[in-house]
Each structure stands twice: as structure tokens, then as C-alpha cells.
Amino acid sequence: MNGPIFEVRDVTYRYQEVTALDGLNLAIMPGQRVALLGANGSGKSTLLSILDGLYFPQKGSVEFRGEPLTENRLQTPEFEFDFRRRVALVFQNPDVQLFNPTVFDEVTFGPLQMRWPRDQILLRVSEMLEQMEIMHLKDRSPHHLSTGEKKRVALASVLILDPEVLLLDEPTAALDPKSESQMIDFLVSCSGGRKTVVTATHDLDLIEDVADSCHIFQRGRIVATGTPAEIVNDHALLLSTNLIHAHHHAHAPGELHSHPHRHGHRH
């Protein structure tokens, strides 16, 4: 396929009186690793939901592999079946995504919906649980899992279908440093190559590992695009879009010094 896998044209989405996306234009190519950066409420999660065919814009259009992604189109069983197999979204809140009584049930949900044969499901589930290092959690209920474990189960539950497109909403949010590091390793190992990965985050430490290009969101629009290195080094841009804060300190009485500052860096 030569054209974009996703083409977003002049998309506007409103939640009642709040405009989440405002005339957004974006093209994502197959195999690309894209980071959507922005402060809370900038429209990143809304865009992911639109790309996953869960929300539909009030204005504008979205195409998937050159075909319109509309509500009517997704009501066609064949198209929806194919789309859901190819595109997967990992939600920011794992308690939303983990709706089954056990981890085993959670990971089997997708293949069951895809009507896989029983033996194939059992084999793939076993492989996926081993790969994600969560076999020991197989019979656990989600309410007995830590946040890091929930995120890994959520990832396993979508990766089992081997989707072409992976949409990740704040994959490292609320994780402790060790869990965050493990999650980044998983994401790096499963991204790239033929998979298209779109990651919504405000974690600047993440983008260099999981993205080749970044789009910065502010008030529902893309205000800047660049490589991770370009974005991370543009302090004025990061300050203006609330991705870093200004740190103030005084060298001497009356001598206030401020400079851009972000916490949490890795060596």
C-alpha cells in the first residue's frame, strides 16, 4: 500500500460545548511510529478514539487505507470485522479495557470475537501470556492486579490479534519507574517494521524510544511537527504548549532566575 494508512482531513469533534478537535489534518503512513504530544485536554485521546472508529467527527473526514471510516461503514459486519482485526486501541484507563472476570478471559476475548477455532485460541493465548510475562496472572481477577500488570494485560489483549495498527493512549501513565521501563521495552519490541504505532502521551522521555515523528497538539489543533530530537530541544515550543514548566529560583535576593525544566530523565 503506497498511500497513508490513516488520512484525517479537516476533522472537528465537539463534546457538547467543548471543541476537542478543531479542523485537524493529519496523514499517518504504514509502518510509521508517531507520537501525539500535548497537555491534558489537547485532543490526543479524542483523535485516537476517532482513528479507532469509536467516535465520528461532526465535520471533516477520516479514511483508513483509502476507504472512508464512517459510522455507516462500520455497521457493515464484514468491514467492521476486518477493521477491528487490523486496528487496536489500548485505553489510558486499564479498568475500562479489562472488563472480563479473569486475565485469561480478557486475552481470549478478541480471538473469540474473531471466531478463531478453540485450539488456535488456546495456543495463541498461552504464547501471548508467556511473551508478556503474565502467565502467572492467568486466573487472576483484574481487581487483584497492580497498575503495571493491568497495562501489560491490556496490551496482551490487543496484541494477540496481531493488529497492523496499534493506538496507545498514555501507555506509561501512573506506572512506577520499573514498570514504565518494562512497558517501554515491550513497546519498542512490538513496534516498528510493518506495524504502525500511534502513541498519545505527554511523557517526553518516551517519545525518543517509540516514535520517529511527533505532532504537538494544543486546543484541538496540531501546532508543530518534527522528529523527537527536534521537539525535545525546542524549549520555547514545549513551554508554550505546557509540556514542560518553567522552574524559578533566586540566586540572590531580588535576582529571580527562571528556565525551562522537566522532571524525570533517564541516562
Partner 1 sequence: MSVKSRGVIERSLSSFVDALQHTFDAEEIAKKRGLLQRLDPRVKILSILPLIVIAALTRRLRVVIALFAVAIAVALLSKVPLGTLAKRVWLAVLTFTGFISGPALFLTPGRAMYSLPILGWSVTAPGLRAAVYLVMRAETAATFSVVLILCTPWSNILKALRVLRAPAVLVVILGMTYRYIFLLLRTAHDMFESRKSRMVGQLEGRELRKMATASAGVLMSKTLQLSGDVYLAMRSRGFQGEVYVLDEFQTDWLDWLMLALFGSIALLAFWFGR
Interface residue list for partner 1 (CB under 8 A): 49, 52, 54, 77, 80-81, 84-85, 88-89, 91, 93, 95-102, 104-105, 108-110, 112-114, 118, 121-122, 139, 141-144, 157-158
Show the cell assigned to 150.
Answer: 493491568
Pick the closer one to partner 1 by CB: 150 or 218. Answer: 150
For the CB of residue 194, give the shortest distance to partner 1 in the complex, in Å: 21
For the CB of residue 128, give the shortest distance to partner 1 in the complex, in Å: 14
Pick the closer one to partner 1 by CB: 43 or 53. Answer: 53
**Do 132 and 155 form a contact (C-beta atoms < 8 A)?**
yes
CA nearest 249: which of 239, 259, 240? 259
Rounded CA-CA distance 101/143 in Å is 9
Pick the closer one to partner 1 by CB: 84 or 151. Answer: 84
Please state whether beta strands 221-226 and 213-218 pair in parallel, antiparallel, or not at all (unpaired). Answer: antiparallel
For the CB of residue 251, give the shortest distance to partner 1 in the complex, in Å: 39
For the CB of residue 54, give the shortest distance to partner 1 in the complex, in Å: 5
Rounded CA-CA distance 135/104 in Å is 9
Pick the closer one to partner 1 by CB: 99 or 230. Answer: 99
For the CB of residue 153, give the shortest distance to partner 1 in the complex, in Å: 13
Rounded CA-CA distance 48/26 in Å is 12
What's the order of all strands across the beta sheet hosting 6-15? 18-28, 6-15, 59-64, 67-68
What DSSP state is assigned to residue 44? Answer: H
For the CB of residue 97, give the shortest distance to partner 1 in the complex, in Å: 5
Count Cβ atoms below 10 Å from residue 233 Cβ, excluding itself: 11
Pick the closer one to partner 1 by CB: 142 or 228. Answer: 142
Phi, psi of 216 (to 5 degrees): -100, 130
Report CA 169 to chain centroid distance, whole Å. 3
